[in-house]
């Protein structure tokens, strides 16, 4: 429990739908209806993250095969103090915070400055966000926390101007790779719209590397990634009144070398009829038919630098590990 002084510097806010209230009901689940009605079928990766999905992802991050988390953490461990030196004390806004485990490496470095600073974790999972935010407030007495429950789009649309001298939005864990090219471009546009002149953006990107390294990271021996992928169907059942039977599906993850991306699928192992009652949707799946649940694009530093520059996000410094498997790109917005 937080004491009174800690509670005064702690808030959790639930973000409103991006659509107008009168339009929100009609658009609810529209992305599911569109994704499952097209060919090939898709489900947006945001539906991974109910509370169970978020907990499974935390377990994935601890797997020996899943190199991104430990590699990014090693970069933060080595360079967090330099990042603080370059940005100074500022308002920290994290997109997709989860349990904020790696974030602590940054928070430790800011905390060492012995000044009050603000952290705004944003996540779709209210349970894990509130639990981690309370723990952080207990551990960092100089930290002011305002957690936001919602999607990236909601957060970037509703984020209010900062009262701090500077703001740094950070997006760790290579989640930027989940966007299509158009989504990637739109996301960076929204980042640029939120930032003021002199504000910062810290982006984590998973770099291109051999298939022999990439595929095991998404097909772990314990089956945690498979459980994470299949849990999406349970989430849809609960949210939309679905009748998905997870026993009729198989997890599959492959590296598409031409497109430089991991593609994660749910493979239908039999012919079946799916219904989502709350969406008034009925779908037929053939045996062997795949539903794309995630793509994870792998990046090139120079191409990413050019892309960021086109959005007025100038790269100040690129931090990488010794294998050059992963990179953190610290940028500053300049109109």
Which H helix or E strand runs over 251? Answer: strand 249-256
pTM, entire model: 0.89
Q: What is the pLDDT of residue 25?
A: 47
Q: Are 249 and 227 in contact (CB under 8 A)?
A: no
Lowest model confidence (mean pLDDT) among 14-18, 121-125, 146-150, 166-170:
14-18
Rounded to 5°, angle at Cα 110 from 105 and 115: 150
Q: What is the bridge-based pairing of β-strands 167-171 and 143-149?
A: unpaired
Compute the 3-state secondary structure of the chain and give helix, strand, coil in percent, each to the nearest 5.
Answer: 40, 25, 30
d(CA 154, CA 148): 9
Q: What is the pLDDT of residue 19?
A: 54
d(CA 238, CA 49): 13
Lowest model confidence (mean pLDDT) among 5-14, 81-90, 127-136, 183-192:
5-14
CA dihedral sign, ordered 16, 18, 22, 28: negative
164-186 burial, b if ≥16 CB within 10 A, otherwise e? Answer: eebbbbbbbbbbbbbbeeeebee
| 114-130 tens-digit pLDDT | 888 999 999 988 888 99
Mean pLDDT (the chain, rounded): 93
| 26-44 tens-digit pLDDT | 478 999 999 999 999 999 9
Arithmetic mean of pLDDT, 134-154: 91
**DSSP string for 255-317:** EETTTTEEEEEEEESS-EEEEEGGGTEEEEE-TT-EEEEEEEE-B-HHHHHHHHHHTTEEEEE
Q: Where are the domains of the chain?
A: 31-61+211-297, 65-210+298-333
| 232-277 tens-digit pLDDT | 999 999 999 999 999 999 999 999 999 999 999 999 999 999 999 9
Crossing angle for the helix pair 67-87 and 103-111, to the nearest 10 degrees: 20
pLDDT above 50: residue 22: no
pLDDT band, very low/low/confident/very high, at 10 (cuts 50, 70, 90): confident
CATH architecture of structural domain 65-210+298-333: 3-Layer(aba) Sandwich (3.40)
- Residue with more model confidence, 313 or 152: 313
d(CA 161, CA 4): 27
């Amino acid at each position: 429990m937080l004491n009174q002084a800690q509670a005064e510097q702690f808030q959790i806010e639930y973000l409103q739908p991006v659509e107008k209230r009168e339009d929100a009901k009609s658009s609810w689940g529209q992305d599911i209806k569109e994704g499952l009605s097209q060919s090939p079928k898709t489900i947006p990766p945001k539906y991974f993250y109910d509370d169970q999905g978020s907990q499974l992802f935390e377990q994935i991050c601890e797997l020996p095969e899943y190199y991104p988390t430990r590699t990014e953490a090693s970069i933060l461990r080595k360079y967090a103090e330099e990042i603080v030196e370059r940005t100074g004390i500022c308002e920290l806004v994290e997109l997709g915070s989860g349990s904020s485990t790696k974030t602590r490496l940054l928070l430790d470095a800011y905390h060492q400055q012995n000044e009050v600073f603000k952290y705004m974790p944003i996540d779709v999972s209210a349970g894990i966000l509130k639990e981690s935010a309370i723990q952080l407030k207990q551990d960092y007495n100089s930290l002011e926390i305002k957690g936001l429950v919602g999607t990236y789009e909601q957060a970037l649309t509703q984020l209010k101007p900062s009262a701090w001298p500077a703001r740094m939005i950070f997006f760790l864990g290579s989640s930027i790779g989940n966007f299509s090219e158009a989504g990637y471009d739109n996301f960076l546009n929204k980042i640029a719209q939120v930032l003021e002149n002199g504000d910062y953006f810290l982006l984590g990107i998973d770099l291109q590397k051999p298939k022999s390294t990439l595929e095991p990271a998404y097909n772990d021996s314990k089956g945690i990634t498979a459980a994470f992928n299949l849990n999406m169907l349970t989430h849809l059942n609960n949210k939309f009144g679905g009748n998905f039977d997870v026993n009729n599906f198989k997890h599959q993850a492959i590296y598409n070398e031409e497109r430089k991306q991991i593609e994660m699928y749910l493979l239908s192992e039999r012919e079946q009829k799916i219904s989502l009652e709350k969406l008034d949707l009925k779908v037929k799946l053939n045996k062997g038919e795949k539903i794309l649940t995630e793509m994870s694009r792998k990046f090139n530093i120079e191409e990413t630098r050019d892309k960021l520059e086109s959005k007025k996000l100038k790269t100040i410094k690129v931090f990488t590990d010794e294998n050059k498997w992963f990179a953190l790109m610290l940028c500053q917005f300049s109109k």
